[in-house]
Chains A and B, each alone.
Chain A
Amino acid sequence: MNTAQQTARVGLFFLLGLALTWVTWETLSDGKLFKQTGYSLVAGFDNLKELKQGDEVRMAGVKIGSVERTRLAGRRAEAVLRIDPGVKIASDATATIVMAGLIGTNYIGLDLGTPGAPVLTDGAELRTKITPDINAIMTELGNLGQKLEGALGSITTTVNGDGKNPGLFQKLDRLVTDNSTKIDTTMTNLASATEKINKGEGTLGKLLNDSKLHDELVATVSEIKGAATDAKSFVADAQTLVNQVKSGKGTLGALIFDETAGNDLKVVTRNLRDISDKIAKGEGTLGKLLTDDSLYLSAQSTLKKADSAIDSLGDSGPITAVGAAAKVLF
């Protein structure tokens, strides 16, 4: 081989090296080496969380593009998405940031939208929905636990008393006990009077034998009876409520003992155990639980969020979201 040939080969070889280095550099630096295809959409969020440039955009789980870049725009964070050409996105498709794994890989998930809706064009803005991430869910669950604790404490105090002041049961009990003789006497008297009256004995009897008066009297007695029954059933209700909470039925019980939450909501359970303890000690007023419907509402909204968070974790890897929660927690 002659020298010129050798020189040419070395030169080409060196150029090849330069070219490959340049290609690698371009590819790893900004990915702008290859001409951009497709069109771009903007998705605004309050918080992009772990989303990075180069993350995938999937519609119904199918990759249709990637995050071209992320930027701050005023009071929100924007992700500019590069969508593959030929993919049509309905204008009412909603974008969410989805966790694909637990070690920081996210992607943007789009739902299909409704058929027949107009198609988004280059530069258009996507509708977005905030999905709480696992941290937010945990914080909310913690807050809920504290609220429950306070409210249930109040119930207990009202029902059982707090040691100094007698509670509802004690008061009723004492009322009945203290006056039992009087009530007995009254009842006996009433019975004999009634008997006499029925027989039509004495002036009073006659006077009272007037059916109208009799009717009124009967009504009064039944009202007294009704009041007593009401008091009883209220006490029973309160007890049932406490029992239900303990045994895991009803809305609150369901929240706490929901099987989908399983062991991973142990913290909440523990909180509730604390709550029971505190219920035993007794604090607060009954009225709080009964009038404070914000508690119920916030419980409900938390559950909704938890639901949707768990939905959005549907695509996660082998480690389940619950497992993740457990890892975050313990």
Chain B
Amino acid sequence: MKQFTHFLEGFGSAVQLLFQSARFVGTLPRQRARFIDQCYLIGYTTLPIVAILCFFMGSVLALQSGYSMENFGAKQFIGSLVGLSFARELGPVIVAILVAGRVGSAITAELASMKVYQEVDALVTMNIPPARILVLPRLAAVLVMMPVLAIIGNLIGWFGGAVVCKYVESIAIEPEAYFSALRRYMKFKDVGTGLMKAEIFGFVVVLICCSIGLNTRGGPREIGASVTKAVVVSLISILVLDYFVTKALM
């Protein structure tokens, strides 16, 4: 019961934060520097890990499907399988999880420490709402950067699958055949759906992490607790949302 109340409180404060930030959308042009800064942190610096993980995720996906599809002679469809599952599901989820782990935790840590060391209070007394300068640029940045990360992750994942298909002896499918199979059953809508999912996940993750960070109370010890909580809540939200968003976008 208490847990449920906490959940509702958290949910409520996140929604409240969203509306508070939305009120200041008009100030975004003036906050260009902050926006660029956040874009850099959320997008650019997350790219290497996204690239590495997506590459290996695509590889292992091709490897596993090659192993199991060989049983009924459908090896030539590995491209379709890897392509579709990456574009529709794995790409957005992996990128969102990485953003939660790398960017979300950093956001929570930063905002929580600002809160604990009274910087947030100072902003309030200066009549500068934290939602405006701390939350809004991050939300805007994640909206812009998420699709970029997701499409790059997608392509790298596909490429990882192609590499495995070519060089693993038990599969041995030429990249051309792999990509032709990939293209055969895929429409841009599948990729578009994935990008939209990534967008939603990224936005929700950043909102959750901001909200939990700003709601930190107590001393420095609570910063760590908040970060843990933010990452856990983000991951759960990604996977729960994933089901509903997928269903809605089908």
**Shortest distance in angstroms between A81's beta carbon and chain B's nearest beta carbon?**
15
CB of A20 within 8 A of CB of B155, answer yes
Q: How far is the CA of A10 from the CA of B145 in the complex (A)?
A: 9
Within 8 A of B (CB), among A100-122: 101, 103, 105
Main secondary structure of the interface of A (DSSP, over half): helix
Interface centre among A16, A24, A25 (most CB of B within 10 A): A24
Within 8 A of A (CB), among B95-148: 144-145, 147-148
**Shortest distance in angstroms between B142's beta carbon and chain A's nearest beta carbon?**
13
Number of interface residues of A (CB under 8 A): 27
Is A251 among interface residues, defined by CB-CB distance under 8 A? no
Known: A21-B195, A54-B183. A10 touches B188 (CB 8 A): no
Interface centre among A21, A31, A52, A54 (most CB of B within 10 A): A21
**Shortest distance in angstroms between B154's beta carbon and chain A's nearest beta carbon?**
7
Residues of B near A101 (CB, < 8 A) are: 76
Residues of A near B186 (CB, < 8 A) are: 28
Is B23 among interface residues, defined by CB-CB distance under 8 A? no
Within 8 A of A (CB), among B1-54: 33, 36-37, 39-40, 43-44, 47
Main secondary structure of the interface of B (DSSP, over half): helix
Within 8 A of A (CB), among B64-87: 73-74, 76
Known: A7-B36, A21-B151. A318 touches B73 (CB 8 A): yes
**Shortest distance in angstroms between B46's beta carbon and chain A's nearest beta carbon?**
10
**Shortest distance in angstroms between B13's beta carbon and chain A's nearest beta carbon?**
30
CB of B188 within 8 A of CB of A25, answer yes
Is A37 among interface residues, defined by CB-CB distance under 8 A? no
Known: A6-B40, A9-B40. A17 touches B73 (CB 8 A): no
Kindly identify which residue among A17, A28, A56 contacts B191, using a CB–CB cutoff of 8 Å: A28
Within 8 A of B (CB), among A285-330: 317-319
* Chain A residue at smallest Cβ distance from B38: A10
Q: How far is the CA of A6 from the CA of B149 in the complex (A)?
A: 17
* Chain A residue at smallest Cβ distance from B158: A24
* Chain A residue at smallest Cβ distance from B188: A28
Q: How far is the CA of A24 from the CA of B148 in the complex (A)?
A: 12
Kindly identify which residue among B76, B155, B180 contacts A24, using a CB–CB cutoff of 8 Å: B155
Is A3 among interface residues, defined by CB-CB distance under 8 A? yes
Within 8 A of B (CB), among A3-17: 3, 6-7, 9-10, 13-14, 16-17
Q: Which 8 A-B pairs have the closest CB atoms?
A: A17-B148, A318-B73, A10-B39, A28-B188, A20-B151, A25-B188, A21-B151, A6-B40
Q: Which residues of A contact B (CB under 8 A)?
A: 3, 6-7, 9-10, 13-14, 16-18, 20-21, 24-25, 27-29, 31, 52, 54, 56, 101, 103, 105, 317-319
Q: Which residues of B contact A (CB under 8 A)?
A: 33, 36-37, 39-40, 43-44, 47, 73-74, 76, 144-145, 147-149, 151-152, 154-155, 180, 183-184, 186-188, 190-191, 195
